[in-house]
Amino acid sequence: MLTTRTPENAPTDSDRTFDFAPSRRSLRTARRRVPGLPALIAGGALGLAAIVGIGSTTAAVALDPDFVAAASPSAPNAQLQALTGITAEARTTLEAARAAAAGARSVSAQVEASGLDLAGPTAVDTSALDEHVDRLAAVDVVPLLLLPDLTADALTETKKVTQLTRDLRERMDAAAAERAAAEAAAEAAAKKAREAEAAAKKAREAAAALAAANTVEGAKATARSLASSQYGWGGDQFSCLDSLWTKESGWNYQAYNDSSGATGIPQSLPGSKMASAGADWQTNAATQIRWGLEYIAAAYGTPCSAWGHSQATNWY
């Protein structure tokens, strides 16, 4: 039979108490023995997210920065900056893509509303870009490994749509300028035609008035009016004037005396004297009448005096 001896005063099992908490000294010793443990923990966490392929950008960046900084003092800032940069680039591209799609739709709507003939596409197709926008809109749940490719594809399509939109706008502006020029030319031609018609109408009216004034009755009416307004001669003086010029020319502005060369209603000798009253003396009875009245006033004072002289001498 085997027997054991217990040293005197040695505590028995029932008397022992066990303290499992490590002392501070032992912990310091353990840390010195495993210097890379925190870095391994951080690296393992990041590596697991990449290997499994389900870590979103939010999940990747959501690692406690304080923890990572404490765990791996040599690399965490670069890693976080890279992850943050990928996400920021995706968001920037997303906004640019949305703006490009909106701009394309706006210009397409303007072209449709304008009714311009662009002789080519009148709208920009944004369906592909819209799909890229939908994909990037889920940036918070897109796997980190897929995000750079999605961003690059969206950026390529954004540039394509932007260029197509620019081309469409330029063609719209050119068509609008061409239409404006055509409308301006048409308006100028219409204005010219209106002016020509107005001038022709005025000429016709003038010709009609001249023709009316050149008749015997028209010439007498003109003489009566001028005698009264310019010389104050009344009906008695006009009666003498009527007799005088009826004898001389019969109130015919085209009258011409072959023997003397006397011309027109007042029988000016020579006829060119009447040019002092107007360049149209050969065709306008009113011009001849103005000259004749001025001559009578200067030479005889009144038509009746001129008529008396004519009756006495057969000329005036």
What pLDDT digit, counting tens, does each position of 136-151 carry? Answer: 998 888 888 899 999 9
Query: Cα–Cα distances in Å, from 95 out to 101, 124, 128, 136, 280?
Result: 10, 18, 16, 10, 81
In a domain, residue 254? The reply is: yes
Closest by alpha carbon to 133, among 101, 164, 156, 166? Answer: 101
Which pLDDT does position 49 carry in this prediction?
Answer: 36
Same domain, 199 and 227: no
Whole-number Å distance between alpha carbons of 190 and 138: 61
Query: Cα–Cα distances in Å, from 133 out to 51, 89, 94, 104, 240?
Result: 27, 14, 6, 14, 104
Q: Model confidence over 120-137: pLDDT tens digits?
A: 999 999 999 999 999 999
Same domain, 284 and 191: no
Q: Model confidence over 24-73: pLDDT tens digits?
A: 333 333 333 333 333 323 333 333 233 333 334 433 333 333 333 433 44
Q: Whole-number mean pLDDT of the chain?
A: 81
Same domain, 82 and 117: yes
Which pLDDT does position 75 carry in this prediction?
Answer: 53
Same domain, 209 and 221: no
Which pLDDT does position 41 carry in this prediction?
Answer: 30
With bands split at pLDDT 50, 70 and 90, how would you rate the model's confidence at 81? confident
Same domain, 234 and 302: yes
Whole-number Å distance between alpha carbons of 244 and 238: 10
CB neighbour list of residue 277: distance below 8 Å, 6 or more residues apart: 287, 288, 290, 291, 294
Whole-number Å distance between alpha carbons of 181 and 117: 15
User: How would you class 173 by CB atoms within 10 Å of its CB: exposed for 0-12, middle for 13-18, buried for 19 or more?
Assistant: exposed
Region 238-252 average pLDDT: 98
Same domain, 291 and 241: yes
**What percent of the chain stands above pLDDT 90?**
70
Tell me which of 213, 234, 258 is where a domain ends. Answer: 213
In a domain, residue 13? The reply is: no
How many domains does one find in the chain?
2
Which pLDDT does position 291 carry in this prediction?
Answer: 98
In a domain, residue 255? The reply is: yes
State the Cα torsion 94-95-98-99 to the nearest 10°.
-150
Which range of residues forms the domain containing residue 204? 49-213
Same domain, 186 and 262: no
Region 281-305 average pLDDT: 98
Which pLDDT does position 76 carry in this prediction?
Answer: 61
Residues 40/48, Cβ–Cβ less than 8 Å:
no
In a domain, residue 19? The reply is: no
Residue 171 has pLDDT above 80, yes or no: yes
Same domain, 241 and 138: no
In a domain, residue 21? The reply is: no
With bands split at pLDDT 50, 70 and 90, how would you rate the model's confidence at 185? very high
Same domain, 164 and 110: yes
Tell me which of 179, 194, 213 is where a domain ends. Answer: 213
Whole-number Å distance between alpha carbons of 216 and 222: 10
Closest by alpha carbon to 135, among 114, 150, 153, 157? Answer: 150
Residue 6 has pLDDT above 50, yes or no: no
**What percent of the chain stands above pLDDT 70?**
76
Residue 20 has pLDDT above 50, yes or no: no
Same domain, 203 and 230: no
Region 241-267 average pLDDT: 97
Closest by alpha carbon to 60, among 38, 37, 42, 39? Answer: 42
In a domain, residue 223? The reply is: yes
In a domain, residue 2? The reply is: no
Whole-number Å distance between alpha carbons of 286 and 294: 12
In a domain, residue 18? The reply is: no
Same domain, 120 and 209: yes
Same domain, 83 and 207: yes
CB neighbour list of residue 68: distance below 8 Å, 6 or more residues apart: 42, 76, 79, 80
Residue 9 has pLDDT above 50, yes or no: no
Region 249-271 average pLDDT: 97
Phi, psi angles (nearest 5°) of residue 143: -55, 135
Tell me which of 198, 213, 228 is where a domain ends. Answer: 213
Which pLDDT does position 214 carry in this prediction?
Answer: 97
Whole-number Å distance between alpha carbons of 89 and 85: 6
